[in-house]
A = this chain, B = another copy of it.
Amino acid sequence: MQYLMIKDAIEEQIESGMLKSGHKLPSERVLAESFSTTRITLREALNHLALSGKVYKEERRGWFVSTDTLSFNPVTDTDFAKVCQKQKWHYAVSSISAQRVLAPKEIAETLQLPPFSYVIMQTKLWTIEGRKAAVQYQYAPEKQFSSIAMIDEDANLTEYLKVHYLCESQKNRVKVEVAPATELESSTLNISSGSMLMSITQTAINNQNISYLLQVLRISHDLVTIEIE
């Protein structure tokens, strides 16, 4: 299998330090030629490498060497900013949208909301080490937090609930899956539509055992390691 040999060859270049984190690989055409093969076979090799988290690609920009992964415990870590800080990663958050919406069915069920409840929905883009890394969706029920409709869209929702409502979670309900990127996610993250993302859904529960915040982090799988406890 030619593509496996190509994969190993590129992998070795990475392991040996010839290609460093964040560096761009030569173009598919150049690589294909240098391995005397076609682009299809070459892409097969790169796709396999991407699965193991060694490289990733950005839509129409090229293939890059992955950085180390961020360790994330979704059961205890509710504030993703703190996770990045603790591991001293350079990160930036920017708001994609913030709206007051009728709770979608799935959200209403998870947060145990009555019909026709409104939630504040924030969508954010996380940039980590200069790379568009994740899209995050946060949903907080309006009824529990009366002033929340006025929240600044760039505010940290987790922090806001903690400061203004003393709502802090020690423990979350968590769901982990892999799933293809949606249209919004692929265009926001500059990845090809339908490519794989790690999806981490957290439901934060307060002292009174009430779910007060639901958040979904959809992050490139080569960037995160999920470790619990």
Contacts and interface: CB of A to CB of B under 8 A. Distances in A.
A171 B177 CA distance: 21
Contacts of A179: 51-53
A68 to B, nearest CB: 14
A104 interface: no
Interface stretch (A58-66, A158-166, A220-228): A220-228
A176 B40 CA distance: 31
Interface stretch (A19-27, A29-37, A90-98, A190-198): A190-198
A18 to B, nearest CB: 22
B226 A196 contact: no
A78 to B, nearest CB: 13
Interface of A: 1, 4, 7, 40, 48, 51-53, 74-75, 171-180, 193-196, 198, 221, 225-229
